[in-house]
Amino acid sequence: MFELTAEEKNKVQEAFDELMNGLPKSLIKADKDLIRKAFIFASKAHGTEKRKSGEPYILHPISVARIVSEEIGLRTRSIVSALLHDVVEDSEYTLDDIEKEFGSQIRAIIDGLTKITVVLDGDSSLQASTFRKLLLTLVDDVRVILIKLADRLHNMRTLQALPRKKQIKIASETLYLFAPLAHRLGLYTIKTELEDLSLKYKNPEVYTELANKINHSEKISSHFIHKFIEPVKAKLEEEKFRLEVYGRPKTIYSVWRKMQEKNVPFEQIYDILAVRIVFKPKARIPEITQCWHIYSTITQLYKAKTDRLRDWVSRPKANGYEALHATFMGPHGKWIEVQIRSERMNDIAEHGFAAHWKYKTGDSKEGELDRWLKGVSDMLKKQEAGDVEFLEDFKLNLFDAEMVTFTPKGKEIILPKNSSALDFAYEIHTEVGRKAIGAKINHKLLPLSTLLNTGDQVEILTSDIQSPQLEQLEFAKTAKAKSSIKDSFKEQRRKQIFRGQKTIEEQLKQLNYRPQASVFRKLFDEYRVNSKDDLYQILGRQEIPLEEIRQILRKRSKSKAIRFWDLQFFSSKKTEQLPIDSDSNASLVIQENPEGNEFRLARCCEPIPGDAVIGYRNDESSEIIIHKTTCPIASKLMTSQGDHIVAAKWTSHKIMAFLARLNMSGIDRLGIANDITNIISKELNVNIRSMNLDSHDGVFEATFDLYVHNTEDINNMILTLSKVKGVDSVKRMEKIEDS
């Protein structure tokens, strides 16, 4: 076996020296000796093993240990566990060997990490069936999941060494699960970096463009921020505050998400830069009082926007976050957000769950996290939920405690924002939720769908003859309510599926059709379902006449745009055609071909040539479904069925036409509709399928459905139409429904 080169050995030693130099000063010699022992043990176990990047593998556990120590703030046992986290998985050493050398506590942590590593970082997709194991370790010892988050962060930082398909899979898993989990545990810095890196690999063009724009905007805004900070800092220092005041730009992902949520361009995101004030508390004065004093001081200098005041010092978020957020009108007429925190609050904001133990006082501020962990434990005890559904329900539990409600006797019930009276009922007890028929909210009788507000006092009315209703899922918010309602319908669904399957088999036999993919594809399209079980349930729920099935199967496949493309798979190294699973570097290339029919475009996101896309191979219908990489449904598929995902791209596309929708608004004037349609039809040579223009109070709003070849057509159109006199906004709508 080859040894590491002298250069590689030096690199490893330098990395370990950096880890040791960054350790907390309070660690005693015995702690440092144990960390050094773990490094030697891990180095021997990993030997000459290399990562995909070609670097010695031991550099990875060293980097994870640095994140655990310097960025999360954990101490000796966690640092040792981080150094050893892959040893049992990748070498001949056993858990017994770990216990013999490092003790039972570190063995337990390594055991938890080993159980989940194969699933989360192996070649297969993230398996919901083993996600319960991860959560069991979370409830048992939260250090396991904190180290796992550090491991995922370093993997994301080094993701460039992996093939594109794996980059998309890992980035999707990270955005879908790990970033929200980091947020729920209060690890804000790690959460934001995971989000940014996920966007970087899922949509690199968008990431690069936004990074450049934010950097440019920060340079322009820094002058205004400095002008804002100067008098604030001077005034607070006059009042004997010891503090730091500095500007902090928004993350790339947070800006992108706000653009998506508000459907606006970058130029309309105004709060790119925020000001953070971190103060050293004065003795014998409550920190909350000092936060409000600082806020009051700033109001003497700048006008506050009161509807943007966020008080997370009186009642912290569920993940422990404490701060006072306020928005002020700064110099030159620009609104500036200010975050006010004590040093303790800032430490918790940066290091999350780990920092709570440092400041543990026994008061109620840790109660939210304790209650959340208990809720996770309760979910794990429920075996009725399917594994993928369990993963979905757990995602719903990753919320901030933004609402406090009360029972008639004054007991606090913590719920996510926009929760309903039904969620309140299930939070009290599952049986109360199942038997609920209405609610008295602040002594007024209201339906269970009523949304609650902070401070509401709620009494649930029940009946023994009541049972869960399917429509309740539409207004249930919490995981507990949703999972309980779903459980009630599972047996009913199973019966309907069995009945529907028997029905369709008999009908197809009478019509002399074989139960093959092309037959089911027509039925899927007609009844707007994506799986056989969903189709069977419809047929088991209602009587579908035989003649109706006959007519459906005789229909010719239709599409609202010309969508005949040929799917081919090419390796990055070769040009010959490849089977889908033959090469991890294979990419799906979508070419124009009037005879091609192996794929369809996803209805949920309606991609068109030029959009960043991925392919999902559906085993049931034997077809490839094309999704945008930004599509939420695609993110779920990449997380739960990543082995069915294929990297995809469009070739040149000048013949086929696709439907896109533009939304426009602006100031109404005589002839503006004529100007717009002339530009679209004559100047840009684009075919208009339909249009709707409404004018009121001097303002118009219009929607155009247009046939385009690619995103370049749309971008050119938006640029040209935005220059028309009176037009204020032009933007692409993301989904087109059949009309």
E-state strands within 12-102 = none
Given 606, 632, 650, the domain boundary residue is 650
Asked if the structure places residue 1 within a domain, the reply is: no
Mean pLDDT is lowest, of 256-265, 501-510, 618-627, for 618-627
Of 57-61, 140-144, 565-569, the range with the highest mean pLDDT is: 57-61
Which tens digits make up the pLDDT trace of 218-247? Answer: 777 777 788 889 999 999 999 999 999 988
Which tens digits make up the pLDDT trace of 130-155? Answer: 455 556 555 566 788 889 899 999 99
Same domain assignment for residues 584 and 599: yes
pLDDT (average), residues 176-198: 86
The one-character DSSP state at 92 is S
Same domain assignment for residues 162 and 238: no
Assign residue 160 the CATH number of its domain: 1.10.3210.10
The H-or-E segment that residue 662 falls in is: strand 658-667
Show the CA angle centred on residue 464, arms to residues 461 and 470, nearest 5°: 80
The model's confidence at residue 557, banded by pLDDT at 50, 70 and 90, is low
Same domain assignment for residues 33 and 171: yes
Which tens digits make up the pLDDT trace of 413-455? Answer: 878 888 999 999 998 998 999 999 999 999 898 999 999 987 8
The one-character DSSP state at 543 is -
Query: Half-sphere exposure (CA, 13 Å, Cβ side) for 628?
Result: 16
Same domain assignment for residues 230 and 335: yes
Which two tokens mark 417?
């924002």
Same domain assignment for residues 148 and 18: yes
Given 452, 486, 520, the domain boundary residue is 486
Asked if the structure places residue 159 within a domain, the reply is: yes
**In a 3-state reduction of DSSP, which class is residue 499?**
helix
Mean pLDDT is lowest, of 62-71, 341-350, 388-397, for 388-397
**Is 3 an active-site residue?**
no
Indicate the pairing of strand 565-570 with strand 587-592: antiparallel
Same domain assignment for residues 316 and 395: no
**Is 89 an active-site residue?**
yes
Q: Give the total number of structural domains in the chain.
A: 6
- Kindly report the length of the chain: 739
Residue 246: per-residue pLDDT: 86
Same domain assignment for residues 517 and 587: no
Active-site option among 49, 55, 90, 487:
90
Asked if the structure places residue 559 within a domain, the reply is: no
Asked if the structure places residue 739 within a domain, the reply is: no
Show the CA angle centred on residue 329, arms to residues 326 and 335, nearest 5°: 75
Asked if the structure places residue 136 within a domain, the reply is: yes
Same domain assignment for residues 402 and 386: yes
Exposed, middle or buried by CB within 10 Å (0-12, 13-18, 19+), for 597?
A: middle
Asked if the structure places residue 82 within a domain, the reply is: yes
Q: Hey, how many other C-beta atoms are within 10 angstroms of the C-beta on 286?
A: 11
Query: For residues 394 and 264, which has the higher predicted lDDT (pLDDT)?
Result: 264
Same domain assignment for residues 610 and 510: no
Same domain assignment for residues 291 and 228: yes
Assign residue 457 the CATH number of its domain: 3.10.20.30
Same domain assignment for residues 180 and 149: yes
Given 486, 519, 539, the domain boundary residue is 486
Which tens digits make up the pLDDT trace of 38-53? Answer: 999 999 999 888 888 8
The model's confidence at residue 581, banded by pLDDT at 50, 70 and 90, is very low
Residue 127: per-residue pLDDT: 47
Q: Domain span at residue 667?
A: 658-733
pLDDT at 120 over 70: no
Give the 3-state secondary structure of 207-274: HHHHHHHHHHHHHHHHHHHHHHHHHHHHHHHHCCCEEEEEEEECCHHHHHHHHHHHCCCHHHCCCCEE
User: What contacts 24+ positions apart, CB below 8 Å, involve 696-699?
Assistant: 698/667, 698/668, 699/665, 699/666, 699/667, 699/668
Residue 459: per-residue pLDDT: 94
Residue with tokens 């130029």: 267
Assign residue 233 the CATH number of its domain: 3.30.460.10
Active-site option among 31, 89, 459, 620:
89
Same domain assignment for residues 213 and 174: no
Asked if the structure places residue 422 within a domain, the reply is: yes
Assign residue 699 the CATH number of its domain: 3.30.70.260
Residue with tokens 């993919």: 517
Asked if the structure places residue 322 within a domain, the reply is: yes
Provide the mean pLDDT of the chain. Answer: 79
Compute the Cα dihedral for 50, 51, 56, 57 and give only its sign: negative
Which tens digits make up the pLDDT trace of 348-389? Answer: 887 766 565 555 544 444 455 555 566 665 655 554 444 455
pLDDT (average), residues 569-594: 43
Do 416 and 405 form a contact (C-beta atoms < 8 A)?
no
